[in-house]
Amino acid sequence: MNDNYKIKLFQDEAARCFSQLYKDGYLPNDEMGDVSVRDAESGYVFISIKPGTLRVGEPSAYHGTDFAVVDRDGNPVTHHTIPSENLALHLAVYKARPDVNCIIHTYPLWSSLFSQRKEPLPFVLAEQAEASTDIKCVESAPSMTEAYFNEVIEKLGDQIYVFLYDFGSLAVGANIDNTINYLAWVESVARKVTHASLLGEPLTINPGMAQLVTEGVEYTTDINYDIYNDYDQILFKEEVARGTRLLNLRGYSPSGESGDTSVRDLKTGLIYVSGSPRWCFQRNLQDARGWERFITDVNETIYVPWSEPTCEWYMHVAIYRKRPDIGAIVHTHGEWASVFAILGIDVPLSIIGEGRTGVIPCAKYADAGTHDVAENTADALLHSNCCIMGNHGAVAVGKTMDEAMAVVAWMEQACQKAFNAILAAEGLRADTAAAIRKLTSHQ
């Protein structure tokens, strides 16, 4: 490929990253973060420019050609723009991590709470096993020195994220879409943990135990497109894809990739389940397509061996087995249900002002993707159309996808109301002066 054209493509990727971060609320203006992508082949790094050298109004207005291009040692490849002053940090990380081709340095809202306290992110939600279970904080004051870079590289290790005291955080990944999702993922977990700790002591899980496993399934790469000749199957697969996209569109998948849905054809008994986001190579759940769906039944028969299901497919099957009356399941890692998942407590409905009694039950924790978590969750749904999953997320069921989605919407709001009702009833008020003393004592 023509080198100049390749450079332009990578510059456009870097500009897309910058623009997306602004749209997602991670960059308040063009001075508060820097991003880079690397072409692993040439070693060239494409990085945002030194703020203030080119005024464009807002980060989404940058064009690819506004991005600076340097070689692996920092020598300029293009000469009309000045690289970010944090270029040396990006280059040091790329040098230490050959698997990384995108770095996002920003000052995110919720991660910053941990970096200012110089605390690691506790392991409290099963979803962390998919991204990173060991996020540490760099404690030295920021500087563009070898010693600082060494601490960043040591604390980052082989993880996808690191908190930087007084300096925001770094997210790293193989490409920009992974990296943006990782940033969203950690932000979401940091927010959930922060909210949960206002109500009680977050329950941690053993990092050695949680593993995302799909037990005993062998996949083939043979693709039999004949399955698409079955019109009913097309409709059901498209319905699951629609439900999977809704998870993201409605904000129930804060990380972009988490959660899954399924529907059951009550006539044939066939169950159609979300595909694994990893397998589908999608940007996020909004890219879910019908062809990726997995088909099974209550006996866990595998009808489409070329399709890799979400790791929670046993859970969907177990719920259908115990609930013959339902035709759709939605599993989320929603913000507010997760707060109670971290605390491992039932949500009392009498406190939310809707004339309800009883609870949204919290199912016992078990590792993601196992038959144990499937059974625990299915049991919690025997007498309820929704439940919290301990240290994990939530599930809602209904006759149709829209009915289950409506339960999810209600459940998220009910959990948010319960959270606020508990805080308000106790009249929580921070000791501001003491908190400021504590935070500034780190300096």
Rounded least distance, CB 209 to Zn ion, Å: 16
Any residues with CB less than 8 A from the CB of 360 and at least 6 apart, and which? Answer: 337, 340, 346, 347, 349, 384, 386, 387, 388, 411, 414, 415
Rounded least distance, CB 48 to Zn ion, Å: 34
Q: Is the CB of 133 or the CB of 140 nearer to Zn ion? A: 133
Rounded least distance, CB 316 to Zn ion, Å: 11
Q: Is the CB of 155 or the CB of 333 nearer to Zn ion? A: 333
Task: Tell me the two tokens of residue 214.
Answer: 């799909």
Rounded least distance, CB 55 to Zn ion, Å: 44
Rounded least distance, CB 389 to Zn ion, Å: 7
d(CA 240, CA 293): 7
Q: Is the CB of 68 or the CB of 405 nearer to Zn ion? A: 405
Q: Is the CB of 78 or the CB of 286 nearer to Zn ion? A: 286
Interface stretch with Zn ion, choices 67-75, 340-348, 357-365, 386-394 (CB under 5 A):
386-394
Q: How many residues sit in the footprint of Zn ion (CB under 5 A)?
A: 1
Q: Is the CB of 277 or the CB of 393 nearer to Zn ion? A: 393
Q: Which of 331, 170, 185 is nearest to 256 (CA)?
A: 185
Q: Is the CB of 178 or the CB of 255 nearer to Zn ion? A: 255
Residues of span 339-368 touching Zn ion by CB under 5 A: none
Strand-pair category, 137-138 with 161-164:
parallel
Interface stretch with Zn ion, choices 94-102, 170-178, 202-210, 393-401 (CB under 5 A):
393-401
Q: Is the CB of 309 or the CB of 393 nearer to Zn ion? A: 393
Q: Which of 209, 160, 156 is nearest to 189 (CA)?
A: 160
Interface stretch with Zn ion, choices 149-157, 281-289, 348-356, 391-399 (CB under 5 A):
391-399
Residues of span 185-204 touching Zn ion by CB under 5 A: none
Interface stretch with Zn ion, choices 33-41, 153-161, 187-195, 385-393 (CB under 5 A):
385-393
Interface stretch with Zn ion, choices 66-74, 241-249, 387-395, 431-439 (CB under 5 A):
387-395
For Zn ion, the nearest residue by Cβ is 393
Any residues with CB less than 8 A from the CB of 273 and at least 6 apart, and which? Answer: 240, 260, 261, 262, 293, 294, 295, 296, 309, 310, 313, 316
Q: Is the CB of 148 or the CB of 185 nearer to Zn ion? A: 185
Rounded least distance, CB 260 to Zn ion, Å: 7
Rounded least distance, CB 331 to Zn ion, Å: 6
Rounded least distance, CB 392 to Zn ion, Å: 6
Interface stretch with Zn ion, choices 101-109, 151-159, 282-290, 392-400 (CB under 5 A):
392-400
Report CA torsion sign: 25, 29, 33, 39. positive
CA distances from residue 302 to 295, 309, 341, 421 in whole angstroms, order as listed = 7, 10, 31, 45
Q: Is the CB of 130 or the CB of 151 nearer to Zn ion? A: 130
Rounded least distance, CB 47 to Zn ion, Å: 35
- Which residues contact Zn ion by CB under 5 A? 393
